[in-house]
Structures are given as C-alpha cells and as structure tokens.
C-alpha cells in the first residue's frame, strides 16, 4: 500500500507491507512479524547476489550479498532505481510472501514501488540488521532521503513479509517558530500547525500556521469520542 502527502517528489513516499497488520492512519509502521511462516517449496532456489549495476550502491552496505534479507533489500533498491517500470506480477509473487500479498495485491505493490521510484535514483548510505531476518538501510536520492526497513521469512525462500520506505527526518531543533513554519510548508502542498498551552482547561494558542485551513482528520476523530467518554465517566454517566 502506498501513501503520499502532496504531489511533489519531495513529498512523503512510503510503501508499507506487513504480514499481519498494516500501519494505521497515524502513519507509523506496524510490526512485520508473521504468525506462522509459510513453508518453502522443495524446489525453492536462493535469490542471486546483487546485480553489477548495484555495485556502487552496495558499497554503502557491503554485507547485503551475505544474507537472504540483504539480497531482498538489494532487489527492492534495484526496483526503485529504475526497474519498477518493467516490474511484473510474477516478480512480486517471486519476492513477496503470501502473507504480505494477502494484505496488498501485486498490482498495488507495483504501483507503490513505481511511486517510490520517482524520488530516485538512490544510493545506499548505510545499513544495519534489525534481527536475524530484518534490516534497515538509508537510501539517498536527489529528491529525498529514505529509511528502508525490510523483514523476510526466517526460512528459504526468505520472501519479503514486511517492507517500509519512509522519509528520514532532520532531528535538528528549530531555532524559531518561523523555522517550523518553513519546515511544515515543505511537507506537503497544504499543512497546518497549532501549538497551544492548556490554561484552566482551555487551549490557548501559542503559535499557529495556516490554522484555519480544513483538512481530513483521519483517526483523529477518535479523540472526540474519547473526550466524550472521559466526560461521561467523570460525571457518572453511562
């Protein structure tokens, strides 16, 4: 499933695939741990080492060829570096586990990977394991820097059960409200911020940016439901 905010290449581009749970409206990645790993067919073969065209990017992660998860990560990077345009359903079925495909169809995955491809081409800037069957890498492209997290089946053919591309966020603190406004303006064509202080049970705005613009609130509507629930509990209602 692909999520994007805004139409530019610098917009958030994310591909989320999980075997059991898909990330919610908040945008955070869910766990990619399968309840039961599919059994590999007897004729399963190992995936080949990274292609020669990926040698330069592999220099940032020299251990990719040494593990199934590394080879799958390299495949995903190759796809978003130009191969996604010719990707087929057969390619998706070869590399993704049935548990992942039960959540997102091959056609949706192809569309999503092509969407991520628009922010490339990427080079691998570094990687680290996230367990025996997982890996996280940093992809640097002309339009964005992405964090790529992947999880594969523990047994051969080690197909992908979880894959997430998300932007690398600069954690440097803002020096002023104006800096925050500028940063927010780059996130999407339309963005809003309201910073408020709770004073005597009333939210008093401290700073606002584009605060009156209407936006879809997604799961934030649940806050109103919880607020009413808290009110009724506090007053002894049912």
Q: Is the dihedral of CA 86, 22, 14, 71 positive or negative?
A: negative
Residues 39-93 have pLDDT tens digits of 333 222 233 333 433 443 445 576 677 789 999 999 999 999 989 889 999 999 9
Q: How confident is the model at residue 126 (pLDDT cuts 50, 70, 90)?
A: confident
Would you state the pLDDT for residue 62? 67
| DSSP string for residues in 123-192 | EEEEEEESSTTEEEEEEE-SS-EEEEEEEE-SSTT--EEEEEEEEPPP-PPPSSHHHHHHHHHHHSSS--
Residues 130-146 have pLDDT tens digits of 888 999 999 998 877 89
CA atoms of 123 and 42, how far apart (whole Å):
35
CA atoms of 151 and 106, how far apart (whole Å):
18
- The structural domains of the chain, with segments of one domain joined by +, span 2-167, 177-234
Q: Whole-model pTM?
A: 0.53
The yes or no reply on domain 2-167 and CATH 3.10.450.280 is yes
What percent of the chain is modeled with pLDDT above 90?
A: 32
Q: In whole angstroms, how far apart are CA 208 and each of 82, 87, 180, 186, 198?
A: 41, 45, 10, 16, 15
């Amino acid at each position: 499933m692909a999520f994007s905010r805004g139409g530019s290449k610098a917009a958030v581009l994310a591909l989320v695939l999980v075997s059991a749970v898909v990330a919610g409206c908040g945008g955070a990645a869910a766990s990619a741990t399968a309840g039961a790993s599919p059994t590999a067919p007897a004729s399963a073969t190992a995936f080949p080492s990274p292609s020669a065209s990926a040698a330069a990017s592999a220099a940032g992660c020299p251990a990719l060829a040494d593990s199934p998860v590394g080879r799958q990560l390299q495949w995903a990077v190759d796809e978003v570096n130009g191969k996604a345009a010719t990707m087929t359903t057969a390619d998706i079925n070869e590399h993704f586990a049935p548990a992942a495909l039960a959540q997102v169809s091959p056609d949706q995955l192809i569309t999503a990977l092509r969407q991520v491809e628009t922010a490339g081409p990427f080079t691998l800037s570094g990687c680290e394991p996230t367990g025996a069957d997982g890996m996280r890498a940093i992809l640097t492209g002309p339009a964005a820097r992405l964090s790529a997290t992947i999880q594969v089946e523990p047994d051969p053919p080690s197909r992908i059960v979880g894959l997430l591309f998300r932007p690398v966020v600069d954690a440097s603190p803002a020096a002023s409200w104006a800096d925050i406004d500028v940063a927010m303006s780059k996130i999407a064509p339309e963005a809003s911020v309201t910073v408020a202080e709770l004073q005597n049970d009333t939210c008093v705005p401290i700073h606002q940016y584009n605060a009156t613009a209407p936006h879809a609130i997604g799961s934030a509507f649940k806050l109103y439901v919880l607020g009413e629930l808290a009110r009724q509990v506090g007053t002894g209602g049912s």
